Structure 1
Amino acid sequence: MHDDAPHFFFSYAPVPPPEGDVDAGPPAADKKVLEFCDDLTRAVISMSGTHAPPSTVRHLDAADRGGPSTVSALHRSRTFVAVITRRYFTDVHCGRQWYAFTHRPQRPQRGALIPVLWTPVPTTARPVVVDLGLPVPDRPATPSYVDRDAAEGYKTGGLSGLRRDSDKPYYDQCVRRIAQCVVQAASRAPEPVPDDAEFAHLDEVPDAFTASSWHPLGIAVLAPDIDHLPPGRRDAKYGREPRDWQPFSDGYGTPLAERTAELARNLGFAPEICTYDEAEPVFLGQRETRRPWVLILDPWILHDPAAAARLRAFDARDLPWVTVLAPLADDPQTRHARGDLEARLRSVLPRRLSGSRPIQRGAMLGRIQNSEAFNSLFMELADTAAQQYLNRVPLRSSTRPSAPTEPPQGDQEAQP
């Protein structure tokens, strides 16, 4: 390993200065990011035992974002710390840096690309598969201690949230864990390749974030059609196919599935509508899924014993990447039958209901009685399904062994 190679390349998307005020200095948001860079540098120096000055332990990409020093640092840095914000994925320099590091001739070792969550980013705003959990070092290292509340605060609000909430001990624990991962990955880094094998300018490198397409999303509908209604059910809400179901009388005149697909497109998804019959092989494990799913369920279908049995088989499987919404139609007949319909939902989805968050349970039990409530729930739960799906995809960026959240016996600050 070259002694002069930076332990980490610090990649972040700076906040643009106010228009016409180029001499204003870094915005307050950038100052906090730069303070984190200093904190991480000190932790890396402490844990690695290096005597190198801080300026050589890290490369802080700020002044010449595409210039010679950036290019040199991308060739030589042992690890790549990406400070993740929504802006990060729209910054062309960050996209090029990411691509340049992950496509070096000496392929980065597992764990050398270390995403750090600074502020929350919705799944649909992430054009690449990236794990935003708190990094965990590879075995046999014992992960440095992080309090359970610190890990949860990092997950929900990022490092910026921990700083803003004045949780200094929690922030320090997370910084030390990240530093531990940097030191471990840096110790395994391969030697840089000869100069003649390197790119010369960053503008020669593609932006890693522009080539990705929208996130796919399956929308499955389980509802009666007009020719297969439960006994006594009025037909005003139904059409010739299950996907024609319109539970809400809000004047739009379009089926709920089509309106859901339009909403999904606005959120950055590429939706595909199908019936439950078409999606069932995926739900029952007979065909591999290639997307997260939303199942829109009309509780009236559960008057059909065969449909109820199929839902019980669905519920028996562990499918965290499928979210279920069971809106109640807004007609008087449905309002009168609300208690019975909820009881039927409970009988076919016991496993999901027992292991779900309150918002998910409400969506499954028919507590969606207008289009505004449906839209709000869909936006949150579709993103949850997408994240669960992405968690199933093998990640090259970092290693995810399980890590204890309670302090180990003895020394709580184990070295890598």
Structure 2
Amino acid sequence: MRTPADPPPAGRPYFFLSYEPTPRFGPDDMSDPDRWVAAFFERLSAVVSESADLPLDAEAGYMDRERSRNGWSARTALALRTCRVFVPLYASRYFASERCGREWAVFNRRVERSVGEFEPTEAIIPALWVPTPLSKFPAATEPVKFDASALGDAYQRLGFYGIMRTGLQIDYELSVHSLAERIVRAAESAQVLPGTEAAYQSARNAFVGYPYRKLQIILAPARLDSTSRRDAAYYGDQDAEWNPYYPGETPLAEYATDLARNLEYTPEVVTLRENADQVLSATSPAEPGVLVLDPWAARDPELLDRLRRFDRLEKPWIDVIIPWNQQDRQTIDAEAELEEKLESALPRRLLEGRMTSRISARDTSTIEEFGRTLRAVVHRVGNQYLKYGTAHPPAGRQDKRLRLRGPGETEDRSKS
């Protein structure tokens, strides 16, 4: 019978690093987007191996670098079913990941099965990758103890990614050693039963159902007046009643919110007219957004001015969709004029849209086509939000004498 202090058998890691891969910053980005996670994993594994005095052939940790789209590889499945400690790499991107939610569910099921067989143990040891508001933590994480201050002030403020990118090597080493000590203590006392293949294959996302993934739906319907000469039947008393696919369809705000909920987002409907200060600010994103633009805004001087300001901003986490109802004879008759004015107000946005087939009258000629386009746009702005909202290197002091070299970098010997 194995005791808790025994090293794990060959091929069965001490800990399993659960992380969500970093998306590339564009089709021309050929670098390894997960090089910082890999460097952190290698250092943590080395410290765990030293602290636990593992045999040379023992695997301290496991990180899945393959990420098969068809499920887990056999090696990943074995590691997750047999590891002693589960180390989730906390970040907004992590909690938004179905795969990470399933990995959490698989290991947590092992913990639940072990209660009653052995004394309850804390075998889930979180690590903070980037600072993440507590409001974004799913309910599944509530039973797990997490105190970022225990690993140092720099770690609490910046997370491991921030410490690495700002070059705080001493703080980095202290935080890695503290985390490794927690992993070893948990591994030496944990008696988590191995998982079964059946439970492994049937695992569901433990993070589903928690309303933290917000999406802002920004409506920009035109304001009717005597100069617009627009049929009022497509508009109601409020902007949320705007219905460009009238008759026979629901208002666009209602349709878009239902679709967003099906995509597991919590939608918030606002208007460009009432929320211009927020939409047109240069601040970091609070959530991804979709600007749903009425073609007849081309005849609304106030909206046109705001669209020009929006076009000058670098906000890839907000995308534009223009619903062109091909059954609306009034819109079809005015299409050339409306397109010309919109192109003048949004030259960069509409060019980008055509290059990627996201913004086109042909893509939104019916409400069904609008829905398909909206799905693609929501996916894109969600990814852009994760890049720009959580993955920027945090501002901080650059100390060249203590600079931590990134993967593949040469030593910086410059003097401060």
Q: TM-score range by the shorter chain?
A: 0.5 to 0.7
SS in 2 for 1:100: coil
Q: Measure how far apart 1:86 and its partner are.
A: 3.5
Aligned position for 1:246: 243
C-alpha change, 1:366 and 1:287, in structure 2 (3 Å) is farther
- CA RMSD across the alignment: 5.3
Q: Which residue in 1 is equivalent to 2:106?
A: 93
Equivalent-residue separation in structure 2 for 1:263 and 1:74 (angstroms): 34
Change (3 A) 1:376 1:99: farther
Partners of 1:280 and 1:98 in 2: CA distance: 47
Q: Which amino acid aligns with 2:59?
A: T
Give TM-score, length-normalised by structure 1.
0.55
1:249 is displaced (CA, Å) by 4.4
User: What's the counterpart of residue 231 of structure 1?
Assistant: 228
Quote the offset at 1:343 in angstroms: 1.0
Counterpart of 2:383, as a letter, is Q
Higher relative contact order (CA 8 A, sep 6+): 1
User: Aligned residues, how many?
Assistant: 299
Partner of 1:221: helix, strand, or coil? Answer: strand
Deviation at 1:260, TM superposition (A): 0.7
Equivalent residue number for residue 16 of structure 2: 10
Deviation at 1:265, TM superposition (A): 0.8
CA 369–354 in structure 1, closer or farther in 2 if over 3 Å, else same: closer
Cα offset for 1:339?
A: 1.7
Q: Which consecutive residues of structure 1, in runs of 5 or more, have no partner in the other structure?
A: 14-39, 76-81, 115-130, 132-136, 141-183, 402-411
Match of residue 273 from structure 1: 269
Counterpart of 2:274 in 1: which secondary structure? helix
8 Å contact kept, 2:290–2:318: yes
SS of alignment partner, residue 302 of structure 2: helix
After TM superposition, give the deviation of residue 268 of structure 1 in Å. 0.6
State the identity as a percent. Answer: 25
Matched, 1:369 2:365: yes
**Aligned-partner Cα distance in 1 for 2:260–2:79:** 39
Inter-partner Cα distance in structure 1 for 2:284 and 2:78: 47
Moved more, 339-348 or 365-374: 365-374
In 1, the alpha carbon distance for the partners of 2:177 and 2:377 equals 39
- CA distance change for structure 1 residues 263 and 400 in 2, over 3 Å: closer, same or farther? farther
Cα distance, 1:240 vs structure 2: 1.8
Stretches of structure 2 lacking an aligned partner (at least 5 in a row): 1-6, 20-37, 63-74, 89-93, 112-121, 128-144, 194-204, 397-406, 412-416
Query: Match for 1:90: what amino acid?
Result: R
Deviation at 1:275, TM superposition (A): 2.0
Kindly state the Cα deviation for residue 390 of structure 1 after the two structures are TM-superposed.
2.4
Shift of residue 301, structure 1, vs aligned partner = 1.8
Mapped contact 2:350–2:359 kept (Cα < 8 A): no
Match of 1:124 in 2: none
- Structure 1 residues 94 and 388: alpha-carbon distance in aligned structure 2, compared to 1, 3 A threshold: farther
**Of residues 84, 88, 104 in structure 2, which corresponds to 1:70?**
84
Whether the aligned pair in 1 keeps the contact of 2:294 and 2:322 (CA below 8 Å) is yes
In the TM superposition, what whole-angstrom CA distance separates every residue of 1:156-209 from its partner, at most 9, and x where no partner exists? xxxxxxxxxxxxxxxxxxxxxxxxxxxx98995335158499985669xxx983
The TM-score with structure 2 as length reference comes to 0.55
Contact map agreement 2:242 2:252 (CA 8 A) in 1: yes
Q: Distance in 2 between matches of 1:312 and 1:202?
A: 59
From 213, 216, 221, the equivalent of 1:215 is: 213
